[in-house]
């Protein structure tokens, strides 16, 4: 160990409690004859003189701090600190000290100390945050690289290193060494400079970025980053930035500061994207300040351009000019696309001001004109710009679209132009259509629509869209699923092929349309439901399950699945009436035993219906398709649907039985009440006649009763003195006593007093029916119950009823003879 030496800085605490730097040297642990024991010896790097000789006694407290410091006190107010450049060297010397004192090297302090001593140690360890850089020379590049890398783990030391680099113009000195190394072809020096510059960028300090990315330094920084030790040959990034990357001014920029800021931003973005490694998930913030620096530059550029009204006015004038060449127009649009991209760095208030400026200059009418041109690159740039504008302020774009409807035909509306460009995109990958479908999605999203007491943007715009635009949006879907659509084998060329769902490009377009319609089902419940029902859209979408493109079949299934998830009664009835599960079942059967996304999607749809127990759909599926699906046993979905169906059927059957019983009881109770009322009325009439009726004359004449309009029961004529009045059962089971008439007079009865019904005790017959006395003969005829309150109602006439009635007459006592009404 005596031969091993490590680079350290030695600090000593003087009498004034200030730290003095004794110098930089090499430390070793050696046996010292003077102390008759082990000691720490530090010799100066400059002249080899002894900076420090310190005995290691067995009872002195030593403390290791932050993996690069060893601190101790040799006397009161005489503290010493060894600041190691390499943590490995610090660990080796620490092991030597612990070995002398018989301690485990894993400890941080070798002896027990008092609280005051611990505070002194803490104060001494602050010296570890001191950073001292050697002179910037070729022979110190290794040491500089080690120092820069060592401070990255300590925020305080990073701050102090950044301060030194800024105040001592250290970066400029390093870049001068870069030219020296490059002229001398000193490859090792260039590798060290690459490591140093990358470490300085990793300090993440904006004050250093201002120096490194200045016009004087930025190309030299790029040059240092070219010499990556991991590459066999350096990349010529400076040649690319100088010769290949050309800055084109679509309109001459007179502001020199703006031009310089644009150049700087491009080069810094190049360094960030190309020259620096992509941070790992554990280093997300290591270049955060560099990203902020770039965004700040972009915001400044946009603000400068926004203030230059003459510049923007000239750009718009050339875009509107019909004589402008397509190449020139494309350059102008690419400039606007970059401007919109840079505007994402603006604060909301600045974005509002920019959009207001562009709107006043007529950006939307210009985009509308450009999007109908033939040049694909021009249309693509316009689509991107439109997406930026709609993403930031959809309400402003909706307002413009609605205002157009008052002066334009449907086909000329801006939103219909967008739809047309989406449908007619000739890109095989539909890059432009993807941008435009995002625009439509944002415009149709109710979650970003404003609602005020005076105005509902949601209802106004959706009503407008479904009236003026929806038929154009769904036109490809309706055309591809029409009965006259051709088969793929009969197609020659794009024009005939464009409506065939088996065509790859058409399939991608239909998938985009179905995805947006699925979104509409979720968020436009009323509007989209009416449209689906009127156009029978689900049936047309499910025709696409015959397509050879699985992704398109899945889109159609998602469309139906979202509809079912609403559990809307109207949707459910529509699905059942149209038998729309048939193509789904056919798709499952056609897929066979393949376990793929299509299989999972269909099974999930049926499983959702089972779990949510959507009763109408469960019944429909079981009744129509269970015989076909019962053989699928690798999932329990269809058996579960059958179980749900049978349980519901049993439950409904039980409900019907209970309902029939309740209704039957209600009929019985109603009949009983009516019969009791009739019984009371008959008894009242009998008592009244006995009390107040005058004697009838002996002339064998009888009184006739009047028939009511409703066909109620009438009183038959009295036969003679020994006969009694009988009432006939009406159609509703009620009996009405009409007033008896004499030849010329009308006899009116009065109740003279309240009295109880005079009823003879009934007796049971062999059939357990009750028999009543003559005064209740009319009541018995309609099934009046027993005195206990229960009743027997005969729902069927039995043959022996007449015999029972005859027996009743024989058992009855003779009633009192009725007085005859006087003539």
pLDDT at 277 over 80: no
Q: In the structure, what pLDDT confidence band is assigned to residue 401 with cuts at 50, 70 and 90?
A: very high
DSSP string, 514-560: HHHHHHHHHH-HHHHHHHHHHHTHHHHHHHGGGSS-HHHHHHHHHHH
* pLDDT tens, residue by residue, 460-511: 999 999 999 999 999 999 999 986 554 433 333 334 456 777 888 999 999 9
The stretch 3-28 carries a mean pLDDT of 80
pLDDT for the residue 323:
86
Distance CA 616, CA 44 (A): 93
The stretch 333-343 carries a mean pLDDT of 90
Which has more confidence, 134 or 262? 262
pLDDT for the residue 111:
80
Residue with tokens 């464009």: 498
pLDDT for the residue 701:
42
Please state which of the ranges 223-232, 592-601, 714-723 shows the lowest mean pLDDT: 714-723
Q: In the structure, what pLDDT confidence band is assigned to residue 406 with cuts at 50, 70 and 90?
A: confident
Q: Which residues, in sequence order, are CB contacts of 185 under 8 Å at separation 6+?
A: none
* pLDDT tens, residue by residue, 359-374: 888 899 889 888 888 7
* pLDDT tens, residue by residue, 694-717: 444 444 444 444 443 444 444 444
Q: What percent of the chain has pLDDT over 90?
A: 37
pLDDT at 539 over 60: yes
Cα separation values, 802 from 49, 51, 730, 809, 814, Å: 146, 142, 20, 11, 20
**Relative orientation angle of helices 431-443 and 414-423, to the nearest 10 degrees:** 140
The stretch 36-64 carries a mean pLDDT of 88
* pLDDT tens, residue by residue, 97-153: 999 888 888 888 888 766 555 555 555 555 556 677 888 889 889 989 988 988 887
Give 66: exposed, middle or buried? Use CB within 10 Å, 0-12, 13-18, 19+: middle
Query: What are the structural domains of the chain?
Result: 6-101 (2.30.29.30), 140-298 (no CATH), 567-664 (no CATH)
* pLDDT tens, residue by residue, 143-160: 899 889 888 877 888 888
Count Cα atoms within 13 angstroms, Cβ side, for 206.
9
* pLDDT tens, residue by residue, 726-781: 434 434 444 344 443 444 443 343 343 444 443 344 443 433 443 333 333 333 33
SS3 track for 126-168: HHHHCCCCCCCCHHHHHHHHHHHHHHHHCHHHHHHHHHHHHHC
Across all residues in the chain, what is the average pLDDT? 79
Question: Quick check: 301 and 346 in contact, CB under 8 A?
Answer: no
């Amino acid at each position: 160990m005596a031969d091993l030496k490590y680079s350290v800085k030695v600090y000593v605490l003087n009498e004034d409690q200030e730290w003095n730097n004794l110098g930089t040297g090499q430390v070793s642990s050696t046996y010292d004859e003077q102390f008759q024991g082990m000691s720490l010896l530090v010799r100066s790097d400059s002249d080899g003189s002894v900076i420090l000789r310190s005995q290691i006694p067995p009872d002195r407290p030593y403390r290791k701090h932050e993996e690069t410091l060893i601190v101790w006190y040799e006397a009161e107010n005489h503290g010493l600190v060894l600041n190691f450049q390499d943590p490995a060297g610090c660990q080796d010397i620490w092991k030597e000290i612990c070995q002398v004192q018989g301690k485990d090297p894993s400890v941080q302090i070798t002896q027990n100390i008092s609280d005051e001593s611990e505070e002194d140690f803490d104060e001494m360890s602050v010296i570890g945050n001191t950073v001292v850089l050697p002179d910037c020379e070729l022979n110190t590049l290794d040491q500089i690289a080690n120092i820069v890398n060592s401070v990255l783990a300590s925020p305080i030391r990073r701050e102090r290193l950044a301060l030194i680099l800024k105040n001592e113009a250290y970066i400029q000195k390093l870049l001068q060494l870069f030219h020296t190394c490059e002229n001398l072809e000193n490859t090792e020096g260039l590798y060290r400079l690459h490591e140093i510059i990358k470490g300085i960028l990793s300090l993440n300090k904006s004050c250093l970025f201002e120096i490194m990315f200045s016009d004087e330094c930025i190309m030299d920084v790029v040059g240092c980053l070219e010499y990556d030790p991991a590459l066999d040959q350096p990349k010529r990034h400076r040649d690319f930035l100088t010769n290949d990357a050309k800055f084109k001014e679509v309109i001459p920029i007179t502001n020199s500061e703006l031009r310089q800021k644009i150049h700087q931003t491009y080069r810094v973005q190049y360094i960030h994207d190309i020259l620096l490694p992509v941070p790992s998930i554990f280093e997300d913030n290591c270049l955060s300040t560099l990203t902020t620096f770039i965004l700040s530059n972009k915001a400044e550029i946009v603000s400068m351009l926004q203030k230059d009204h003459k510049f923007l006015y000239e750009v718009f004038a050339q875009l509107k000019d019909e004589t402008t060449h397509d190449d020139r127009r494309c350059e102008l649009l690419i400039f606007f696309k970059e401007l919109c991209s840079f505007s994402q760095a603006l604060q909301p208030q600045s974005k509002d001001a920019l959009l207001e400026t562009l709107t006043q200059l007529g950006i939307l009418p210009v985009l509308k004109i450009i999007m109908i041109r033939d040049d694909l690159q021009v249309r693509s740039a316009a689509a991107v710009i439109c997406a930026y504008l709609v993403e930031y302020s959809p309400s402003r774009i909706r307002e413009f679209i609605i205002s157009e409807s008052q002066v334009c035909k449907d086909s000329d509306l801006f939103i219909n132009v967008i739809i047309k460009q989406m449908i007619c995109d000739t890109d095989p990958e539909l890059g432009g259509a993807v941008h435009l479908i995002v625009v439509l999605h944002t415009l149709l999203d109710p979650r970003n629509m404003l609602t005020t007491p005076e105005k509902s943007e949601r209802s106004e715009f959706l009503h407008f869209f479904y009236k003026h635009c929806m038929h154009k949006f769904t036109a490809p879907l309706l055309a591809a699923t029409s009965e006259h659509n051709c088969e793929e084998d009969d197609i020659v060329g794009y024009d005939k092929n464009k409506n065939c769902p088996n065509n790859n490009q058409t399939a991608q377009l239909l998938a985009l349309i179905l995805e947006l319609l699925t979104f509409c089902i979720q968020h436009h419940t009323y509007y989209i439901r009416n449209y689906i029902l009127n156009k029978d859209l689900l049936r047309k979408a499910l025709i696409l399950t015959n397509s050879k493109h699985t992704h398109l079949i899945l889109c159609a299934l998602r469309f139906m699945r979202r509809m079912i998830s609403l559990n809307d009664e109207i949707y459910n009835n529509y699905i059942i009436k149209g038998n729309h599960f048939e193509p789904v079942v056919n798709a499952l059967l056609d897929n066979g035993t393949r376990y793929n996304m299509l299989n999972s999607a269909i099974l999930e749809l049926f499983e959702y219906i089972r779990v949510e127990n959507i009763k109408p759909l469960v019944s429909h599926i079981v009744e129509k398709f269970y015989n076909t699906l019962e053989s699928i046993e690798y999932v329990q979905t269809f058996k579960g649907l059958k179980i749900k169906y049978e349980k519901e059927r049993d439950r409904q059957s039980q409900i019907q039985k209970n309902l029939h019983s309740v209704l039957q009881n209600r009929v019985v109770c109603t009949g009983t009440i009516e019969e009791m009322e009739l019984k009371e009325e008959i008894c009242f009439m009998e008592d009244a006649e006995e009390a107040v009726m005058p004697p009838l004359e002996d002339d064998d004449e009888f009184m006739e009763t009047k028939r009511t309009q409703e066909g109620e029961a009438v009183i038959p004529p009295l036969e003679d003195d020994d006969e009694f009045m009988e009432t006939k059962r009406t159609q509703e089971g009620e009996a009405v006593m009409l007033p008896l008439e004499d030849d010329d007079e009308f006899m009116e009865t009065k109740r003279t007093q309240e009295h109880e019904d005079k009823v003879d005790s009934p007796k049971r017959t062999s059939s357990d029916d009750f028999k009543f006395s003559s005064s209740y003969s009319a009541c018995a005829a309609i099934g009046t119950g027993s005195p206990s309150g229960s009743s027997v109602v005969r729902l069927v006439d039995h043959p022996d009823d007449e015999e029972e009635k005859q027996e009743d007459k024989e058992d009855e006592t003779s009633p009192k003879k009725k007085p005859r009404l006087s003539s």
